[in-house]
Chains A and B, each alone.
Chain A
Amino acid sequence: MVEIKSVEYAYPGAKAIQFTDFKLAGGEHCLLLGESGSGKTTLLHLLGGLLRSQQGTIRIHDTDITQLSESALDHFRGKHLGFVFQRNHLLQALSVRQNLLMAPFLAELPQSEERVNEVLDRLGLLNRKSAQVRELSQGQAQRVAIARAVVNKPDVIFADEPTSALDDKNCERVSDLLLSVASEQKATLVVATHDQRLKAKITRQMVLPA
């Protein structure tokens, strides 16, 4: 499902970071561990096509995304990938429902009110459906971000430090939700984090050297 081979990335004026080759099967979850500055986020963004790699191949769902054009990559991202970021960047001007509908709208997929209800129900947010984003608590907002990441039924979900800003209780809750939702959707979950609390939850781990 996810496979990288001899991928390298160099920031301007810095030494290139070389990433170890790896392969994940469909539905397999993986933790990217490492100190800050080790290139976790860089690798995650490379995998998600948010950053273009300069070398090597990145295959996701039988597509080498390094070969896609800019707009084809955007389209691929919308259809096959879901993202959860550290700061739950929801679109502030929109309601919870509209935030979720943005995913199929931007990916040019059919917008289904039922699917929105289903996902919100699964994450215990159905009663917040028409709430504005700024009315949500931190934990609720993080769950809405997860809901938005899975609403298009992506093949791979990328999460960048999804729990590091949360206390133990919320960390537990969010990570459990992420894992169970990903498993239900048969999606591969890739989590970049330095949060040691997640180590026990996901056994496949890749440690990036500092």
Chain B
Amino acid sequence: MMNLITLVWSYLKAKPLNTFLNVLLLGLGIAVITVLLVFNQQFQEKIKDNVRGIDLVVGAKGSPLQLILCSIFHVDFPTGNIKLNEAEQLAKNRLVKSVIPLALGDSYQGYRIVGTNRAYTDLYEADLQEGKWWEKDMEVVAGANVAAFARVKVGDRLVSQHGLGADGHAHDQEPMVCTGVLKKTNSVIDNLLFTNVGTVWAVHEEHEEDEHEHDEQPVQHPSPIVPTVNAGDSVKEITSLLVEFRNPMAAIQLPRYINAQTNMQAASPAFETARLFSILGVGADVLMGFAYVLIFISALSIFLALYNSLKERQYDLAIMRSMGASRSRLFVTMLAEGIAMTLMGSVLGLAMGHGVLFLFTWWVKEGSQTGFTAYVFYTSELWILAGSLLLGIVCSLVPAVQAYRTDIHKVLAG
């Protein structure tokens, strides 16, 4: 059976190299756009997902971006420590609804150990896969990726290292015990181990233990932040404090107060991630521009291929008219040829784009750890398909009009 599709396909197949080149060129452009689109989309979703419920991060003075990267995304080092009693003061501020302490500094096989409380894991709606939550000091719960990649199981005894590197100085202390493993959440907590703030203190205060006698005094006025110590302790330190505002006024007043009146600094996750995007955005814009150049060149190439073929095709077009094809039919056939090429190009491009993301998540350990996936399709990809339809029409419009105008008598009388 002959139909429009077999007809168009036959003509495309008659010039395989030409067709292949055009489709490939467009495909490459679309692939770059697809990768950027899917990556960017997931990246933004991840960031939004990880920032959830955290209005402000308070830590030692330094780079605000570093504080955010360290305290929320756990990809940078702490800016320093803040005094526990200062943090307590802040927690009592009427603009603060709730605070979560973070004590960082140790890692297990490159996975960060976070001294905090259950409020932090609740923030990410973490659930236990097996075992039970940590309670006492020296008990830890492992995130899903830690369990999967560092092979941490319930009941394992873990010796932490100082810092984030796998080759950091090992503490020769009594090991921590893993009491539970979390379900995968596809957020940053999959790559963390959780314990009490007290555990982090215990590991680091080891050397001092020789000097002070271990004076196990009962806690009389428990600190609102770390209940295992007395409130107002002037020695203990934590890395940072995640703050939830009580009202919108706090967004204006609280950062100003903290930055001006205390030894701590306040950093807004929303503001700092927006700043991060604008820094990364430059690179993405360059790539995007490159992709548009590719697409423009391929569009030009498709247009030229169709336009040049018109001269040799005019006999074919006239013959088709003599067999009963109307002008509009030739017009549609020509359009269909352009659309077929751009559609194939964009399907190839989408496939290549997802292929690249698949390879990325497959090869790069960090890819799968950050929860990126190649198996996500966004509605914007439908827009790419729709756009390629439009591109096909634009490329083939002039040749199609020429085909429409073919003077069959002139051509056939030739």
| Residues in A lying within 8 Å of B, measured CB to CB | 41-42, 45, 48, 50-51, 70-71, 74-75, 77-79, 83, 85, 87, 89-94, 98, 101-103, 105-108, 111, 148, 160
Contact = CB atoms under 8 A, between A and B. Distances in A.
Pick the 4 closest A-B CB pairs, nearest first. Answer: A78-B324, A93-B14, A107-B324, A105-B2
A74 B324 contact: yes
Given A93-B10, A93-B13, A93-B14, A111 B1 contact: yes
Task: Give the most central of B11, B322, B408: most A CB within 10 Å.
Answer: B322
Contact of B319 (A75, A89, A111, A160): A89
A77 B3 CA distance: 19
What is the interface of chain A mostly: helix, strand, loop, or mixed?
helix
B6 interface: yes
B329 interface: yes
29 contacts: A45-B412, A45-B413, A50-B321, A50-B322, A50-B408, A50-B409, A70-B326, A70-B327, A71-B326, A71-B327, A74-B325, A74-B327, A75-B324, A77-B322, A78-B325, A83-B322, A83-B323, A85-B319, A89-B412, A93-B10, A94-B10, A101-B2, A102-B320, A103-B324, A105-B7, A106-B320, A106-B323, A106-B329, A111-B1
B323 to A, nearest CB: 4
B413 A41 contact: yes
Contacts of B412: 45, 50, 85, 89, 160
B326 A74 contact: yes
B315 interface: yes
B192 interface: no
What is the interface of chain B mostly: helix, strand, loop, or mixed?
helix
Contacts of A41: 413
Interface residues of B, number: 28
A10 to B, nearest CB: 14
B16 to A, nearest CB: 11
B209 interface: no
B318 interface: yes
A75 B326 CA distance: 7
Contacts of A74: 321, 324-327
B324 A108 contact: yes
